[in-house]
Structure 1
Amino acid sequence: MEREETEIDRLPIDLLAYIFGFIISFTDLAQASSVCRKWKEGVKQSLAQRNSMSFAGWKMDDDSTTRLVHLAYNLKELDISRSRWGCQITDNGLYRISLANCIGNLTSISLWGMARITDRGVVHLISRATSLQHLNIGGTFVTDESLLAIANSCPHLKSIVLWSCRHVTETGLLNLVNKCRKLESINVWGTRVPVNCFIGLLTISPSLQIKPPVVLLNAGSAAILPVA
């Protein structure tokens, strides 16, 4: 005996995709996708229409994250920050994500607190994110190698967060600011960069906003950072 068609079964796929676009739980989307072939296509179309995707608050791994990002063709903003549950993303995951069609169109990426990634994964991702304007890699263990990739690949970068990136150096920062001439804001709180470096950054880009604010004394002869 055939199952009687319900009202929702009569909806066109594009309308299903619109409805699924309101679902923020990736677990719920996965369950909806398994209902039937039509719903699966509706979920795929809803992901393809998304401009923003955040995995903060969800327990994701390389496989699940990569699969979703590859379906999101129109993505502009990607947030895979570490949260309370933690996104278990590795360098391998970042490499696989970097192959997605949307990466070249991303304007914002956040990898905040992703302690399991290194320069290897970040360089793969950033090297293809040529439209990037905002980047948050605070709380990671990246070095000047990542900053070099950013400097060479992201000419449109406007802001970058390097909060507590203790392995970046003065050389990396100077190279970044020198090449990313559209850079407006840089957060270096918690880094181990000498204070005199910030005078050099402002010499290259006088309008650059440095966080925490750099206080210049005696007409630029010295600089101090506020004590938290």
Structure 2
Amino acid sequence: MSRISGHSRSRWDCQITDKGLYRISLAKCISNLTCISLWGLTGITDRGVIQVISRASSLKHLNIGGTFVTDESLYAIANSCPQLKNIVLWSCRHVTENGLLFLVNKCQKLESINVWGTRVPVDCFIGLLTISPALQDKA
């Protein structure tokens, strides 16, 4: 399995930024990546995530939990990652119901979504499960 993993400053004393994600997006192997973890990288924005995601068409597992991404990233993920099976949005406080609905509608292979700590209303999760019964809600 090909993967990229970034960790927060407090854990590994490194911090990937949008500039770093841009450089990663230029790598020849980016289209073959199946797993990317950007967990807790507070130095990245939608701009960096969108840059990487737009070229990661084989992506199956994505962790962007603990970041400040918004629905803009979810729209890019939905449009660029048709093979996505698992996404972690833990504590992504700027993600909304609209972004989640768009993601679940477009990513037909999505099996698991972790939305704990978001500000999305509980009734939205029922709607997500209606759209995709195979989805495991990890609220």
Whether TM exceeds 0.5 here: the answer is yes
Residue-by-residue CA offset, 1:50-75 (whole Å, 9 max, x unaligned): x6xxxxxxxxxxxxxxxxxxxxxxxx
Task: Kindly indicate whether residue 19 of structure 2 is the aligned counterpart of residue 92 of structure 1.
Answer: yes
Count, aligned residues: 138
Q: Which residue of 2 aligns with 1:78?
A: 4
Which of 155, 165, 185 pairs up with 2:112?
Answer: 185
Alignment of 1:68-147 (within 5 A): 76-82=2-8, 84-147=11-74
Structure 2 unpaired stretches of 5+: none
Displacement of 1:80 in angstroms is: 1.4
CA contact (8 A) 2:75 2:103 kept: yes
- RMSD between aligned residues: 1.0
Read off the aligned partner of 1:126 and give its amino acid letter: I
Distance 1:108 1:81 in 2: 14
Please report the TM-score for the alignment, with normalisation by the length of structure 2.
0.96
Distance 1:86 1:118 in 2: 19
Q: Which has the higher contact order (CA 8 A, sep 6+)?
A: 2
Displacement of 1:186 in angstroms is: 0.1
Displacement of 1:81 in angstroms is: 2.2
Read off the aligned partner of 2:73 and give its amino acid letter: S
What percentage of residue pairs aligned between the two structures are identical?
A: 78
Of the two, which has the highest radius of gyration? Answer: 1
Name the SS of the counterpart of 1:84 in structure 2. Answer: helix
Q: Which residue of 2 aligns with 1:200?
A: 127
Alignment of 1:30-41 (within 5 A): none
Displacement of 1:98 in angstroms is: 0.3
